[in-house]
Amino acid sequence: MTLPQTVAPATLHDYEQVARGRLDGAVWDFIEGGAESERTVAANRRAYGRVSLRPRVLVDVSVCDTGTELLGARLRTPVGIAPTAYHQLVHPDGEVGTARGAAAAGALFVVSIYASRTVEDIAAAAGGPLWMQLYWLRRREALAALISRAAAAGCRAIVLTVDAPRLGRRHRDARNGFALGPGIRAANLDPALTAAAHVPGAGRSALATHAVEAVDPSVTWADLAWLRERSDLPLVLKGILTGEDAALAVAHGADALIVSNHGGRQLDGAPASLDALAEVVAAVGGACPVLLDGGVRGGTDAFAALALGARAVLLGRPVLWGLAAGGAAGVAGVLDLATEELAHTMALTGRPDLASVDASAVVLRTEAR
């Protein structure tokens, strides 16, 4: 599948428009929607509107280098792919297409525990680092098996998502009675474990029902030792929004953190991820890299997050827009466009490499109350 000739996407939102025209309404709602009033979804975007850039001039910007290093891997771009479930909802290639797109762009791909293609097939299509995202399943043996499988396939880190002891109340999915069709499944989990995600019911999301059954809400910091015993891979915690939890994460030996409110899909009323970033970066004090996701819709947004202390940013919905619009080429298109925009902002702010994209490059105003 290729992009229609008439559409030459100039922004990530152009991919959004193409994707919207191609996807079934309930799938569209699942992707775009958030929890409850969706005020955190909106806050994520609004935060970037409060950023002012502080340009420096007469700096040689003939080459702007977006290259970076993350947990020992070189990346051509600090813009990577956040874990999102079930890519076959938007394109038949699913995560294999996404992995090809990430490889073409030289970007990190975080694979969801709910990937609709096997981790082995995804790894075979990948060209750069893959990280495997997990939810803490009640069935620990299934979790242990998946960790071994991910490591054997070549994944370079485990990402534990810690902001979803239960799924957010997503009214769009409940109203749509959203459930997975028979052709799409969690390819890396025992089908019995995800059966409930396929059973539609009026007024409820089958994914939410499934999550209640499958995800263990009793997990605490002390349980991280169990994960550590099962894998030597670096452990990344996704969904940290406070300095207190960032300090605990460092004390428990996390190798990286992702500042995230899950794209506004979990706790409605959580802060914009950009607003939480400085607090987390300060608490981490350089002990490990901090990444950010939520509302990044272009290179200028990425620039702001990097300047405020993120080592990399991850895109959630925009990657699904790219995949829906053009398969692997669409994913590469989204990542390349965001990276080109980042390089452009670096040139116009006089910051030719990421080391020079520091706190002096931006002002983030607080939101008027």
Which are the catalytic amino acids? 262
Judged by DSSP in three states, 335 sits in helix
Residue of minimal Cβ distance to ligand 7N5: 85
Considering only residues 158 to 177 of the shown chain, the ones binding ligand FMN according to CB under 6 A are 161
Which residue from 296, 306, 335, 361 is in contact with ligand FMN, where contact means CB under 6 A?
296
Q: Which is nearer to ligand 7N5, 115 or 246 (CB)?
A: 115
Number of residues in contact with ligand FMN, rule: CB under 6 A? 23
When CB distances are held under 5 to 8 angstroms depending on the partner's kind, the choice from ligand FMN, ligand 7N5, none that residue 295 binds is ligand FMN
Q: Which is nearer to ligand 7N5, 186 or 233 (CB)?
A: 186
Please state, in angstroms and rounded to a whole number, the distance separating the CA atoms of residues 52 and 3. Answer: 34
Please state, in angstroms and rounded to a whole number, the distance separating the CA atoms of residues 196 and 210. Answer: 5
CA 310-311-314 angle, 5° bins: 80
- Would you say 182 and 282 are in contact if contact means Cβ atoms under 8 Å apart? no
72 φ/ψ sector (left φ>0, alpha ψ -120 to 50, else beta): left
When CB distances are held under 5 to 8 angstroms depending on the partner's kind, the choice from ligand 7N5, ligand FMN, none that residue 188 binds is none
Considering only residues 203 to 222 of the shown chain, the ones binding ligand 7N5 according to CB under 6 A are 207, 210-211
The three-state DSSP-derived secondary structure of 145-202 is HHHHHHHHHCCCEEEEECCCCCCCCCHHHHHHCCCCCCCCCCCCCCHHHHHHHHCCEC
Residue 327, both tokens = 């398969």
Binding status of residue 83 toward ligand FMN by CB under 6 A: yes
Residue of minimal Cβ distance to ligand FMN: 316
Judged by DSSP in three states, 33 sits in coil
How far from chain centre, in Å, is Cα 189?
A: 21
- How far apart are CB 291 and ligand 7N5 at their closest, in Å? 17
Q: Which is nearer to ligand 7N5, 68 or 194 (CB)?
A: 194
Which residue from 112, 194, 300, 349 is in contact with ligand FMN, where contact means CB under 6 A?
112
Binding status of residue 114 toward ligand 7N5 by CB under 6 A: yes
Q: Which is nearer to ligand 7N5, 145 or 193 (CB)?
A: 193
Please state, in angstroms and rounded to a whole number, the distance separating the CA atoms of residues 66 and 356. Answer: 11
Which residue from 94, 263, 289, 327 is in contact with ligand FMN, where contact means CB under 6 A?
263
Which residue from 3, 12, 23, 31 is in contact with ligand FMN, where contact means CB under 6 A?
31
What sections of the chain are H helices per DSSP?
Answer: 12-22, 25-32, 39-49, 94-105, 119-125, 140-153, 171-176, 206-214, 224-230, 243-251, 273-284, 299-307, 317-348
Binding status of residue 87 toward ligand 7N5 by CB under 6 A: no
Q: Which is nearer to ligand FMN, 82 or 153 (CB)?
A: 82
Considering only residues 231 to 270 of the shown chain, the ones binding ligand 7N5 according to CB under 6 A are 262, 265
Residue 224, both tokens = 């991280």
What sections of 10-106 are H helices per DSSP?
Answer: 12-22, 25-32, 39-49, 94-105
Q: Which is nearer to ligand 7N5, 171 or 228 (CB)?
A: 171
Please state, in angstroms and rounded to a whole number, the distance separating the CA atoms of residues 109 and 72. Answer: 15
Binding site for ligand 7N5 (CB under 6 A): 85, 114, 167, 207, 210-211, 262, 265
Binding site for ligand FMN (CB under 6 A): 30-31, 44, 82-85, 112, 114, 133, 161, 238, 260, 262-263, 265, 293-296, 315-317
